Amino acid sequence: MKSKDAIRQEIWQLLVQKKVARFPGAEGRIPNFIGAEACAKVLAETVIWKSAKVLKANPDSPQRAIRQRGLAEGKIIYMAVPRLRSEKPFIELDPQRMKCSPHAASSIKGADKFGRPVGLEEVRNIDLIVCGSVAVNRRGARVGKGGGYSDLEFALLTEEKKIGPNTPIVTSVHPLQVIDGEIPMNTHDIPLTAIVTPTEVIEVETRRPRPEGIDWKILPQEKIDAIPVLKRRKAELME
């Protein structure tokens, strides 16, 4: 089985070679791709989207159209503060409170400017999770860009009971990011419910176990120290 790093490098190079990668590029990030806007339209036709009122979404470029559509439809969106480096690690985008267009608020800078920083206890119960991916397979495994922050955000919100055992987890990708091979998955990795491409929704049939909370064993102390909410929670556990 290929390592996650090897899979990332292959996909980043493939998207560039096939000329489907868009600004700000592919390597080292959740790659933006031609067709990202079409994914938002495809997702919007699903039951899980139509029934969701509160979303937790990643801040990356290829999912911006999804965030914009959600805000335009009146959905509340939570985005994590970069690297969770704030005492209030999430930004709440509430269309009823914002005095700007959905387009303006859907960018990283716009969310920071027009959103409201909130602590974990202030986050509403999440109906749908939208995450970015570098690669996925049809069995619900995914590879992110390697920072592990999506998994941490999921673990924190799960421990806070903002995410339930059946909360859908979807990602939007270019078809070239859907691979046939195995993807190594650890206990802290979040599995997918569905994969959205510009032309289809791939339902994941096999149910992988979800992380039930923070796996402290895999977190280096320097990462804990850099994330206020983790540092505080670790201190509380040691009391």
Place of tokens 């938002």: 40
The sheet with strand 142-143 has its strands ordered as 142-143, 135-137, 178-179
- pLDDT per position as a tens digit, 132-181: 999 999 999 999 999 889 999 999 999 999 999 999 999 999 999 999 99
Which CA distances in Å does 8 have to 2, 31, 162, 185, 191? 10, 10, 30, 14, 17
Report the chain's C-alpha Rg in angstroms: 17
Residue 25 has pLDDT above 90, yes or no: no
- Spatial separation of the C-alpha atoms in residues 192 and 150, rounded to whole Å: 12
pTM over 0.85: yes
- pLDDT per position as a tens digit, 37-57: 999 999 999 999 999 999 999
The sheet with strand 194-196 has its strands ordered as 116-118, 90-93, 76-80, 54-57, 128-131, 169-172, 194-196, 201-203
Domains of the chain, earliest start first: 4-72+119-238 (3.40.50.10420)
pLDDT band at 239 (very low <50, low <70, confident <90, very high): confident
**pLDDT for the residue numbered 134:** 98
Place of tokens 């933006």: 32
- Contact call for residues 62 and 33 (beta carbons, < 8 A): yes
**pLDDT for the residue numbered 222:** 94
pLDDT band at 129 (very low <50, low <70, confident <90, very high): very high
